[in-house]
Amino acid sequence: MNVKLEVTNLITPITNTLKVINDEWKNLLDIGIYEYLQSQTEKYYFTNTFLHRNEKVRFRDIYYPITVKYNHLETKIEKLDELFDEYKNITLIGVAGSGKSTVVKHLFLSALEQNYKVPILIELRHLNDYKGNIKSLITEKILNSRIKPTKGILQRALKSGKFLFLLDGYDEIFSDKKQEVNSQIESFVDSYSQNNFVITTRPGSGIERFPRFHDFKVQSLSKDDVSKFIDKLVTNEERKKRILRIVEDPKNDNYSEYLNNPLLLSMFILAFESHPEIPSRKSSFYRNVFDTLYSKHDGITKNSFPREKLTKLQRDQFEKVLSTFSYLSLLEGRYAYTHEYLSDKLSVSRKSVPTECDVEDLIYDLRTSISVLLKDGFEYKFPHRSLQEYFTALFISKLPSNKKSKAYKNVLAILKESSSDYSFTFWNLCKELDEVAFTKNFLIPQLKSLQAKLKNKEKAPLIKAYFKIIEPRFLYRSFHPEEDKNLKIYRHASYNNSLMDFCKVYDYDDVWKFPLTSKCEAEILKLYPKEEKGKKSEQALSKFETEIHKNDKVIEILLNNGFDSLIESISNNLDSTIIELEKSIEFELNNIDELLER
């Protein structure tokens, strides 16, 4: 059976259901939705994976169901009607490589298979350089820029509640656009509230506890999951047994952090023949994977053979080109690349090696000979964003010592602009590959800049200075179904918050729960905007919650209840963290000096 026929058979039940509603739905199918479903379903029905880079495979043949959890509920999301009847809107939160985007593809196909609703998948990163809002992006995606009258039909269809909106990659939205995008999403959800919505993100992106959304967390693979994952994805029985023998060995229990992440487990499977040991560092996973990609045709069977490279570049030369390209593209916040963009940046990157090569040959090698880049529609991507982060960290680590400070400053600019990453993939890779320079040129100077903002301040000025750093807001709502409403000091994801969390400066839980633990909650709630005709003034409430650091009455209440003492302890912890990091650098440098003197 060919692809188009399989896809047509998959989408026919839901399109037939929609056709009988009314003539408008039939018209909308004819002018937009049917074509959208056909093209998008073809894209997700057959897919590339990290282990299947050179071929399209049926998604259902390789999908291992990921578990997600909300409070006491754990589910593999099998029956959509049961899930979405109970939890209408969902935030799907998971660290890098945990399988969020895979779950989104599962949801898209399941909506069709179960004749549930029309799935609309939007990659939110497109909003970074998009001139319109999320509503116009969705309209364009479905109608493919058709004539204006069709938009009116679509708006009426959206009101019917027949759609499942899958908004993928909230963490890839630049921070300077997040407030605007939040408002757009909230407005869109309000306007078309009969539909269901799913938003995916890495932890700490700021979308957690979004109004009307339930936070489902992607769970790590259990030991049983790891074995079943390998059983499903490795077809060669002998190879499967050898891999299972390694991962099920009790001596390797310490490496469960790596094996229970689907991406890292896939990397281990890919590189197993050449590197059967489980590395103790994540950077070693990526190095092993690149070794395998470079030297093997597919890295899966024992009979694999080296594929000819058109450019004739050697392994270390490809690595240099990829590292340079990754650094340049990450600085621009680009994770997917048009052919024009890829050609332009590779023209610069190839200058990092002495051998001349044609850019088109280089693209061919990266996509086909090595398969380190995948083509997805009209865009090229790394099999996973974390590979780009690995090569960027590698690029900086190999720079001359006197150039690293500049490189880290450049990276700092994009880290402040783009979404913060509380799974810290990139930061950890920098620390592993370049600990002394990363700590000296990046961590310590940035922590000192925060400390300078708190230094020589006390009482109300100290509280205000701290609030300017963490950019908090009040949230007054129930955070779990079984809880009463209570007031919390919530911080959105930001560069400063990521920095302090990465360096383990303090436990934010003390700040988060302060209104409750200090018993000043009721006093602060008296300042909340008064009800208007039985309802809160949403605009006044939002302004009150987001301008907490400017509200002198709130600051006074917090001060009277000892909040300044808590900030003083945080400031002291910051001092101690800086001193410990400086000592660790001094120790490393002294060791090097001692070795050189031998």
The answer, yes or no, to whether residue 477 has pLDDT greater than 60, is yes
Please state, in angstroms and rounded to a whole number, the distance separating the CA atoms of residues 540 and 537: 5
Q: Which amino acid is at 329?
A: S
Q: Tell me: do 227 and 210 sit in the same domain.
A: no
What rounded mean pLDDT belongs to the chain? 86
**pLDDT band for position 211 (cuts 50, 70, 90):** confident
**pLDDT value for 47:** 82
Whether 459 is in a domain gets the answer yes
The answer, yes or no, to whether residue 126 has pLDDT greater than 80, is yes
Q: Give which of 24, 270, 268 is closest to 160, Cα–Cα.
A: 24
**pLDDT band for position 540 (cuts 50, 70, 90):** low
**pLDDT band for position 27 (cuts 50, 70, 90):** confident
- Domain with 285, as residue range(s), is 223-295
Q: How many domains does the chain have?
A: 4
Whether 440 is in a domain gets the answer no
Q: Tell me: do 484 and 363 sit in the same domain.
A: no
* Residue ranges in 160-204 assigned as alpha helix (H): 175-191
The answer, yes or no, to whether residue 430 has pLDDT greater than 60, is yes
**pLDDT value for 298:** 39
Q: Tell me: do 245 and 130 sit in the same domain.
A: no
Please state, in angstroms and rounded to a whole number, the distance separating the CA atoms of residues 395 and 438: 13
Distances (CA, A) of 290 to 285, 415, 424: 9, 25, 21
State the average pLDDT over residues 528-555.
70
Whether 500 is in a domain gets the answer yes
Q: Tell me: do 165 and 236 sit in the same domain.
A: no
Counting Cα atoms < 13 Å in the Cβ hemisphere of 27 gives 12
Q: Tell me: do 569 and 487 sit in the same domain.
A: yes
Query: Which helix (DSSP H) or strand (DSSP E) does residue 200 occupy?
Result: strand 196-201
Look at the block and give the residue holding tokens 């919650």. Answer: 545
Please state, in angstroms and rounded to a whole number, the distance separating the CA atoms of residues 112 and 118: 7
**pLDDT value for 147:** 46
Q: Please list, residue by residue across 92-111, b when 16 or more beta carbons sit within 10 angstroms of its beta carbon and e when fewer do.
A: bbbbbbbbbbbbbbbbbbbb
Query: Which is more confidently placed, 380 or 143?
Result: 380
The answer, yes or no, to whether residue 532 has pLDDT greater than 60, is no
The answer, yes or no, to whether residue 1 has pLDDT greater than 80, is no
Q: Tell me: do 138 and 8 sit in the same domain.
A: yes
Q: Tell me: do 201 and 230 sit in the same domain.
A: no
Q: Which of 190, 215, 240 is where one domain is finished?
A: 215
Q: Tell me: do 87 and 206 sit in the same domain.
A: yes
Please state, in angstroms and rounded to a whole number, the distance separating the CA atoms of residues 338 and 380: 6
Counting Cα atoms < 13 Å in the Cβ hemisphere of 57 gives 14
The answer, yes or no, to whether residue 226 has pLDDT greater than 70, is yes
Q: Tell me: do 211 and 238 sit in the same domain.
A: no
Say which residues have a Cβ less than 8 Å from residue 93's Cβ, sequence separation at least 6. Answer: 100, 200, 201, 202, 203, 208, 215, 216, 217, 218
Q: Tell me: do 232 and 195 sit in the same domain.
A: no
Whether 208 is in a domain gets the answer yes
Report how many helices (DSSP H) and strands (DSSP E) the chain contains, helices first.
30, 15
Instruction: Say which CATH number the domain at 34 has.
Output: 3.40.50.300
Residue 449, phi-psi category: left (phi > 0), alpha (psi -120 to 50), beta (remainder): alpha
State the average pLDDT over residues 559-588.
95
Q: Give which of 502, 514, 503 is closest to 203, Cα–Cα.
A: 502
Say which residues have a Cβ less than 8 Å from residue 363's Cβ, sequence separation at least 6. Answer: 339, 342, 343, 346, 373, 380
Could you report the per-residue pLDDT of 66-118, keeping only the tens digit for each?
Answer: 999 998 899 999 999 999 999 999 999 998 888 998 999 999 999 999 999 99
Could you report the per-residue pLDDT of 127-164, keeping only the tens digit for each?
Answer: 888 888 888 888 887 776 454 446 677 778 888 888 99
**pLDDT band for position 541 (cuts 50, 70, 90):** low
Q: Tell me: do 24 and 72 sit in the same domain.
A: yes
Whether 587 is in a domain gets the answer no
Whether 363 is in a domain gets the answer yes
Whether 307 is in a domain gets the answer no
Query: Which is more confidently placed, 30 or 77?
Result: 77
Q: Tell me: do 54 and 144 sit in the same domain.
A: yes
- The SS3 assignment for 149 reads helix
**pLDDT band for position 305 (cuts 50, 70, 90):** very low
Could you report the per-residue pLDDT of 234-286, keeping only the tens digit for each?
Answer: 988 999 999 999 888 888 877 777 788 898 888 888 888 888 888 888 899 89
Whether 425 is in a domain gets the answer yes
pTM given for the model: 0.79
Q: Which of 384, 403, 433 is where one domain is finished?
A: 433
pLDDT above 70 as % of the chain: 90
State the average pLDDT over residues 562-586.
96
